């Protein structure tokens, strides 16, 4: 075996990275950018790419340089501070924001296809029923952690890419004129930048890295050479995130050219209505299934990571992986039944707009530390935290 990965191994890992990151926010936010930007969508996409592609790629490389050990990564701030940040991050990617966001978007897309009789029977309990079914599917596909990359890269990703390409192709073919916008290019750029920010994909790559590194070590001859691992991880990350970038461009085009009659609806409902408009009932049903798969793939990766953390850190190994997975999925139920708008509102709060800049600064400092022995970390992170905090409250 040589130092480089085979083409098949590289493609499988790239597709797995694409799948793990491609969740609810990755569909909603570029669509919203297109809706608000119209003919100036390119400016919004530039901003979106900086925070939704470059940041996750940076995080992936940074974590690979730390051998996927997020404890070492965060504990450069001190053990207590690092442990606290890890705990908060696990809440964000787990039961507070990302998992509920995936579940509520899936429900928004699939609800129109639930048989009317069944819908009337469960009535107010439809969100809870769907949540339980979704989490059951997540459990079935996640309880064997060793199979996650195979499920994502070889099964879900091809179906997902094909279905999303179908609606994007249809949208481009039938595009006529973009929605009107009065926003300035810089305002649109800033909007795209902040929308990409809210995908939280930097968090995803930091904590998915342990799964990715397991595969890299099986396919890299010099397993202890972190630079070799980082290089292979970078290649896989670039391919996976490039696929994600193509989807972003396509979704931005959909929002720009097909939102004329839907300007006052939320992002989740917007995608549903555009799907019906472009594809009719049958086509929209296919897209709804693809959205379900996209959200499920993200939840598969995230729940595995949070379950490992819960088992090893919270319970100190006193429970097994399956028990921990059940706890993580069950704790995601409360926020998953209040609707997509409620979850998106939480995602736009101080947890993201104060905590995320701290995470970005920590990532850049840690990469500099590994690559050129840059020793500073606490002071840059503290300054970033104070500036982000002041900025957040100033803009309220």
Return the number of other C-beta atoms located less than 10 Å from residue 375's C-beta: 8
Q: How far apart are CA 31 and CA 134, in angstroms?
A: 24
Q: How far apart are CA 180 and CA 178, in angstroms?
A: 6
Binning pLDDT at 50, 70 and 90, where does residue 381 land?
very high
> DSSP string of 144-191?
SGGGHHHIIIIIIHHHHHHHHHHHHHHHHHT---PPP----HHHHHHH
Q: How far apart are CA 85 and CA 63, in angstroms?
A: 15
pLDDT digits (tens, 9 = 90+) for 194-233: 888 888 888 888 888 777 777 777 665 555 566 677 778 7
pTM across the whole model: 0.82
Class of domain 10-348: mainly alpha
Instruction: Read off the tokens for 98.
Output: 């990302």
Cβ pair 104, 268 in contact under 8 A: yes
Instruction: Check residue 301 and give its pLDDT.
Output: 81
Answer with the residue of higher pLDDT: 165 or 43: 43
Please compute the mean of the pLDDT values over residues 241-256 and round it to a whole number. Answer: 92
Q: How far apart are CA 277 and CA 283, in angstroms?
A: 10
Return the number of other C-beta atoms located less than 10 Å from residue 41's C-beta: 26
Please compute the mean of the pLDDT values over residues 140-157 and round it to a whole number. Answer: 70
How would you classify residue 235: left for phi > 0, otherwise alpha for psi between -120 and 50, otherwise beta? alpha
Domain ranges for the chain, please list them: 10-348
Helix (H, G, I), strand (E, B) or coil at 392: helix
CA dist 112 to 122, 199, 285, Å?
14, 26, 9
Contacts of 301 (CB under 8 A, 6+ apart): 19, 20, 148, 152, 204, 208, 211
Please compute the mean of the pLDDT values over residues 79-99 and round it to a whole number. Answer: 89
Q: How far apart are CA 220 and CA 155, in angstroms?
A: 24
CB neighbour class for 256 (10 Å; exposed up to 12, middle 13-18, buried from 19): buried
pLDDT digits (tens, 9 = 90+) for 169-200: 888 888 889 998 888 999 999 999 988 888 88
Residue 242 CA to its chain's centroid (Å): 14
> DSSP string of 79-111?
HHHHHHHHHHHHHIIIIITHHHHHHHHHHHHHG
The beta strands (E) that lie in 175-239 are given as: none
Binning pLDDT at 50, 70 and 90, where does residue 385 land?
very high
Instruction: Check residue 60 and give its pLDDT.
Output: 87
Instruction: Check residue 145 and give its pLDDT.
Output: 59
């Amino acid at each position: 075996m040589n130092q480089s990965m085979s083409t098949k191994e590289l493609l499988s890992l790239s597709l797995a990275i694409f799948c793990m990151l491609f969740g609810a926010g990755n569909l909603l936010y570029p669509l919203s950018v297109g809706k608000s930007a119209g003919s100036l969508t390119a400016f919004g996409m530039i901003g979106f790419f900086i925070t939704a592609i470059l940041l996750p790629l940076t995080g992936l490389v940074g974590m690979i340089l730390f051998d996927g050990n997020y404890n070492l990564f965060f504990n450069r701030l001190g053990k207590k501070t690092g442990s606290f940040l890890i705990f908060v991050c696990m809440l964000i990617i787990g039961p507070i924001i990302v998992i509920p966001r995936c579940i509520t978007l899936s429900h928004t897309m699939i609800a129109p296809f639930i048989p009317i009789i069944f819908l009337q029977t469960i009535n107010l309990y439809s969100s809870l029923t769907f949540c339980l079914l979704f989490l059951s599917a997540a459990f079935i596909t996640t309880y064997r952690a060793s199979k996650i990359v195979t499920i994502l890269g070889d099964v879900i990703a091809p179906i997902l890419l094909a279905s999303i390409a179908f609606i994007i192709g249809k949208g481009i073919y039938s595009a006529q004129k973009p929605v009107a916008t009065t926003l300035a290019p810089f305002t649109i750029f800033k909007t795209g930048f902040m929308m990409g920010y809210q995908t939280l994909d930097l968090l995803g790559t930091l904590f998915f890295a342990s799964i990715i590194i397991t595969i890299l070590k099986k396919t890299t001859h010099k397993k202890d050479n972190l630079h070799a691992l980082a290089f292979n991880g970078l290649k896989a990350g670039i391919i996976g995130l490039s696929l994600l970038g193509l989807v972003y461009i396509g979704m931005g085009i959909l929002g720009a050219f097909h939102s004329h009659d839907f300007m006052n609806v939320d992002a989740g409902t917007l995608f549903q209505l555009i799907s019906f408009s472009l594809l009719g009932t049958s086509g929209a049903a296919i897209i709804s299934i693809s959205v379900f798969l996209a959200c499920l793939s993200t939840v598969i990766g995230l729940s595995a990571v949070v379950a490992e953390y819960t088992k090893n850190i919270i319970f100190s190994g006193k429970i097994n992986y399956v028990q921990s997975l059940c706890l993580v999925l069950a704790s995601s139920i409360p926020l998953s039944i209040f609707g997509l708008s409620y979850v998106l509102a939480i995602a736009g709060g101080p947890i993201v707009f104060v905590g995320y800049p701290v995470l970005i600064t920590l990532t850049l400092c840690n990469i500099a530390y590994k690559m050129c022995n840059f020793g500073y970390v606490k002071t840059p992170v503290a300054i970033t935290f104070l500036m982000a905090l002041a900025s957040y409250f100033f803009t309220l």
